[in-house]
Amino acid sequence: MKSLTAGHNSSAPVPQLIAATAQSLPEQANALARARAFAEPLLASETLDTGENILAHADAVAAILKSIGGSEAMQAASYLVYACDHLNKPQEVIAKAFGDNFAALAVETTKLVRVQRQARQAQVANARAATAIPMAQTTAAQTENVRKMLLAFSRDLRVVMLRLASRLQTLRFFAATKLPVPAGLASEALQVFAPLANRLGIREIKWEMEDLSFRFLEPDTYRQVARLLDETRSERESQMEHLRALLETELKAQGIAATVQGRPKHIYSIVKKMRGKSLGFDQVYDIRALRIVVADVRDCYAALSWVHSRFTPVTEEFDDYIAKPKVNGYQSLHTIVRDQAGQPIEIQIRTHAMHDHAEHGVAAHWAYKEAGTKGYAGVSASGAYDAKIAVLRQLLAWERDLSGAQEQGVFDDRIYVLTPDAAIVELPKGATAVDFAYSVHTNLGHRCRGARVDGVMVPLNTPLKNGQTVEVTVAKEGGPSRDWLNTELGYLVSHRARAKVRAWFNALAMNETVAKGREAVEKLLQRLGKTAIKLDDLASQLGFNSADNLFEVVGKDEFSLRNIEILLRPPEPALPADDYLPLKKPRSAANAAKGGVLVVGVDSLMTQLAKCCKPAPPDAICGFVTRGKGVSVHRTDCSNLREMVTKNGERVIEVEWGQPTTAHAAVYPVDVAIEAADRQGLLRDISEIFTKEKMNVIGVQTQSVKGTAWMTFTVEVSDSGRLGKVLGIVAELSGVRSARRR
């Protein structure tokens, strides 16, 4: 809810940070003087793209490093960095004169300077062209990537320290000269460098960089808030220092050993809080803030009691995070009091252990202010990234001797490369140009055919390195190579890119399968004379969502074309009138009784039961005179019969069921169609019902598609009326959706 920035006596880990980074540079006699003498003839007459003299800039950077505790070796490095651009072989020359450690630092920092310059130039070009950020990245995402890249480039934090000092000096230069600030420079300082300084606990740089950047970006708002403060910064700081010393002395007089820290808010912090929480200036209570650090919890509440007795508390602005810690473990007492002049002062009270956790653990000031949507720092940070920074800070505080430990390993699993437009792309370590192409766009990856890294053509399986600019050449059409999936060839490292390649080949195989199935179905429809039928309608009748779904299972041989043929069974061919032949009587009248069917008005005509509808008594039936096969007997609701009657109605003849002459009742084959959710034991359960009901099963066809079972049973019945009752029993089985006679 409230915030506090450390002041003169802050215990933020700046000394430890500087000591840790400095230890990795070997101390050399007169290193600073030697480095300046080495660089002076190279830099004295040169200027940066900002217009500032390079030697003067290097002098100022060295001074800033000195002011925050940087060693002579660190200060010396600031000159060598700028000398790199004016040497043919900087790595060799600097290594020979100062050692490999100085050479590595200078070259690495120079590389980062170039990358950032490219990024700013690209942003300016995009702004002029009114285009979006490359790869459609949001400003917040791109900013966070720049932060990550800063640390990924840093084999140790010396690179970051040099870049922070350099950017602060650049802002000071523009403030002093009143020259117009280049587009993007102030924004980058505010959105990237200042939060990074905050994360590393270098608040001296952080607050000055924020105020200067904000002054350039929003000069009117800056001046307005400055007027509202109604006093100069030095006056405010003097007032707070007096109050800090007074509190520390009086607490000790009360028997409370306390360290009091603090300084007033700077202008950017005030504006950020006003905007983030929709507050008026008079509602920002912590413009002046102090922190009291004591030995134990008992002293916390004792100090709180004394503060409330010494000043006037604002009761609604009290929070006890000791009794109820924040979810991230943060503990402290927060209170707002008013001094004798009625001005509000924020006071935080905590133990040394709580303070150490807040400053160095996951609940550090920068973590809870920048982590979530409820914060107001402008850019959210990922939990995993913050965790890595927290670990890095602890390493810096604990390990003083980093000599020879160039690789800290915090970002060993990631690299950051650039597009030709200077957009930053995060990739796994060892990633190639093909991984890069897929991370930008899937279609770019599919069509990738070549790559340039820093302008030089390289094989597609070349591992990329931090800070390289990558450009891929693509074909107008086509897809990936199967070689890319061969891990031994090393084309792909990213799991995401590998999945995209597999998906492409799976889709290609699916298209081939669908085409194969379509061809088979269309050939069947041609053979059946059903080419006019809509394929989607056919698929729907068979239980599929689309024609392609039907073609897929047919192409995989998972669905028999026989199912389609049964659905679209063609009628028996009707005979042309001139092909009519008179029927002959069967040799034996007994044949009429075998089928149990009699032709009304005609004795002993040969009859046969139609296979398309399989009639059985007591079905309503009708006869149709065929060529050479006697009378074909159909159910009156048979679709084939209706079609034949439409074409040759004169061939219809009346028939009826007769009485069998044998001792046993005649049986008739009928087809039963069953649709059910496929499950284990389904066929067995259905068969058991037919057996129990004494119905002989003489044929079974089954097909399972996407969890649905389609079954056709041919059973012998003497009475089709009884079949309906049996099908009712089948329909009650678990999973059965329908059971009907075909």
Contact of 366 with 199, CB cutoff 8 Å: yes
pTM of the model: 0.48
pLDDT average, residue stretch 608-629: 86
301-348 pLDDT per residue, tens: 999 999 999 899 988 889 999 999 876 567 899 999 988 878 888 899
- Quick check: 570 pLDDT over 50? no
517-534 pLDDT per residue, tens: 999 888 888 887 888 888
Do β-strands 289-294 and 344-351 pair in parallel, antiparallel, or remain unpaired? parallel
Of 311, 322, 259, nearest in space to 285 by CA: 311
What is the rounded distance in angstroms from the CA atom of residue 412 to the CA atom of residue 425?
A: 16
Count how many domains the chain has: 6
Q: Give the model's pLDDT for residue 328.
A: 55
Do β-strands 607-609 and 736-741 pair in parallel, antiparallel, or remain unpaired? unpaired
Q: Give the model's pLDDT for residue 56.
A: 94
Q: Which of 592, 627, 657 is the last residue of a domain?
A: 657
252 — pLDDT class (breaks 50, 70, 90): very high
| In a domain? residue 228 | no
Q: Higher-confidence residue: 586 or 270?
A: 270
**530 with 465, same domain?**
no
CA-based end-to-end distance of the chain? 75
536 — pLDDT class (breaks 50, 70, 90): confident
Edge to edge, the sheet with strand 607-609 lists 607-609, 631-635, 621-625, 652-653
**280 with 365, same domain?**
yes
**41 with 125, same domain?**
yes
Say which amino acid occupies 522: E
- Quick check: 652 pLDDT over 80? yes
The Cα angle at residue 400 between residues 399 and 404, in degrees rounded to 5: 85
| In a domain? residue 392 | no
**418 with 557, same domain?**
no
- What are the strands, taking DSSP E only, across 446-537? 448-453, 456-458, 470-474
pLDDT average, residue stretch 504-526: 88
| In a domain? residue 353 | yes
Domain that includes residue 350, residue range: 233-381
* Span of 10-24, 133-147, 679-693 with lowest mean pLDDT: 10-24
- Quick check: 37 pLDDT over 70? yes
What is the rounded distance in angstroms from the CA atom of residue 723 to the CA atom of residue 348?
A: 87
**444 with 468, same domain?**
yes
- Quick check: 616 pLDDT over 90? no
**239 with 372, same domain?**
yes
Element holding 349 (H helix, E strand):
strand 344-351
Q: Which of 381, 405, 438 is the last residue of a domain?
A: 381
pLDDT average, residue stretch 46-56: 90
| In a domain? residue 553 | yes
| In a domain? residue 589 | yes
| In a domain? residue 31 | yes
How would DSSP label each residue in 86-153?
Answer: G-SSHHHHHHHHH-HHHHHHHHHHHHHHHHHHHHHHHHHHHHHTTPPPGGG--HHHHHHHHHHHHHHH
- Quick check: 118 pLDDT over 90? no
List the CATH number of the domain containing 364: 3.30.460.10
Q: Give the model's pLDDT for residue 148.
A: 58
| In a domain? residue 572 | no
Q: Which pair of structure tokens corresponds to residue 85?
A: 């651009």
**77 with 198, same domain?**
yes
**638 with 697, same domain?**
no
List the CATH number of the domain containing 166: 1.10.3210.10
Q: Give the model's pLDDT for residue 200.
A: 63
124-172 pLDDT per residue, tens: 565 555 444 443 344 555 555 555 555 555 445 677 788 889 999 999 9
**239 with 293, same domain?**
yes
Q: Which of 522, 547, 567 is the last residue of a domain?
A: 567
| In a domain? residue 5 | no
What is the rounded distance in angstroms from the CA atom of residue 173 to the CA atom of residue 216?
A: 12
**367 with 267, same domain?**
yes
**25 with 135, same domain?**
yes
pLDDT average, residue stretch 637-643: 86
List the CATH number of the domain containing 476: 3.10.20.30
Give SS3 for 373.
Answer: coil
Q: Give the model's pLDDT for residue 697.
A: 85
**202 with 259, same domain?**
no
Q: Give the model's pLDDT for residue 708.
A: 84
